[in-house]
Amino acid sequence: MLPAAAYLLPLLARAQFLRFPCPPGLPCELGGGNSINAFILTVISWLLGIAFGLAVLFLIIGGFMYIMSGGNEEAAEKGKKAVTNAIIGIIIIILSYVIINVIVNLLGGAGAGGAATGAP
Residue 88 lies in a domain: yes
In a domain, 89, yes or no: yes
**Whether 56 contacts 48, CB under 8 Å:** no
Give a yes or no: residue 36 inside a domain.
Answer: no
Residue 52, in any domain of the structure: yes
In this structure, is residue 57 part of a structural domain? yes
Structural domain includes residue 120: no
Dihedral of CA 24/30/34/35: which sign?
Answer: positive
- pLDDT digit of tens for each residue in the chain (120 aa)? 555 555 555 555 554 454 555 666 665 654 444 567 777 788 888 999 999 999 999 999 999 999 999 889 999 999 999 999 999 999 999 999 999 888 888 877 555 554 444 444
Domain of residue 77 covers: 41-109
Q: Tell me the one-letter amino acid at 53.
A: G
Classify residue 62: in a domain, yes or no: yes
**What's the structural domain count of the chain?**
1
d(CA 4, CA 52): 55
Count CA atoms closer than 13 A to 61's CA, side-chain side: 11
